[in-house]
A = this chain, B = another copy of it.
Amino acid sequence: MMTKLYGSLEAGGTKFICAVGDEQFNVVEKVQFPTTTPDETLTQTVVFFQRYADRLQGIGIGSFGPIDIDKNSPTYGYITTTPKPNWANVDLVGTIKKAVNVPFYFTTDVNSSAFGETFVRKNVTSLVYYTIGTGIGAGAIQHGEFVGGIGHTEAGHVLVALHPQDQAKGFHGTCPFHKNCLEGLSAGPSLQARSGIRGELIAQDADIWDIQAYYIAQAALQATLLYRPQVIVFGGGVMAQHHMLQRVRQQFAELLNGYVPVPDLNEYIVIPAVAENGSATLGNFALAKQVAQ
A contact set with B: CB distance below 8 Å: 66, 125-127, 138, 140, 142-143, 145, 147-162, 167, 177-178, 180, 218, 221-223, 225-230, 255, 257-263
Residues of chain B within 8 A (CB-CB) of A151 are 228, 260-261
Given known pairs A160-B161, A161-B160, the reply for A227 and B228 (CB within 8 Å) is no
Most buried by B among A138, A147, A150, A177: A150
Determine if B180 and A161 form an interchain contact, defined as CB atoms under 8 angstroms apart.
Answer: yes
Q: How far is the CB of A69 from chain B (nearest CB, A)?
A: 10
A263 to B149, CA, bound (A): 12
Beyond the given A142-B148, A158-B218, A158-B222, could you list 18 further A-B residue pairs with CB under 8 A, ordered by the A residue number? A126-B148, A127-B149, A147-B226, A147-B228, A148-B227, A148-B228, A150-B229, A153-B225, A154-B225, A154-B259, A155-B226, A157-B225, A159-B160, A159-B222, A177-B257, A178-B259, A222-B226, A226-B227
Of the A-B pairs whose beta carbons lie under 8 Å apart in the complex, a sample of 26, sorted by A's number, is A66-B260, A126-B149, A126-B150, A142-B142, A142-B149, A143-B145, A150-B261, A150-B262, A151-B228, A151-B261, A153-B225, A155-B225, A155-B226, A157-B225, A158-B222, A158-B225, A158-B226, A159-B160, A159-B161, A159-B222, A161-B180, A167-B167, A177-B259, A178-B255, A178-B259, A222-B226
Residues of chain B within 8 A (CB-CB) of A152 are 228
Determine if B147 and A142 form an interchain contact, defined as CB atoms under 8 angstroms apart.
Answer: yes
Residues of chain B within 8 A (CB-CB) of A177 are 257-259
Given known pairs A149-B125, A151-B261, A178-B259, the reply for A158 and B228 (CB within 8 Å) is no
Residues of chain B within 8 A (CB-CB) of A159 are 160-161, 218, 221-222, 255
Determine if A228 and B155 form an interchain contact, defined as CB atoms under 8 angstroms apart.
Answer: no
Determine if A149 and B229 form an interchain contact, defined as CB atoms under 8 angstroms apart.
Answer: yes
Residues of chain B within 8 A (CB-CB) of A138 are 226
Q: How far is the CB of A80 from chain B (nearest CB, A)?
A: 8
Q: How far is the CB of A145 from chain B (nearest CB, A)?
A: 6
CB-CB nearest in chain B for A263:
B150
Residues of chain B within 8 A (CB-CB) of A257 are 177-178
Q: How far is the CB of A260 from chain B (nearest CB, A)?
A: 6
Residues of chain B within 8 A (CB-CB) of A150 are 126, 228-230, 261-263
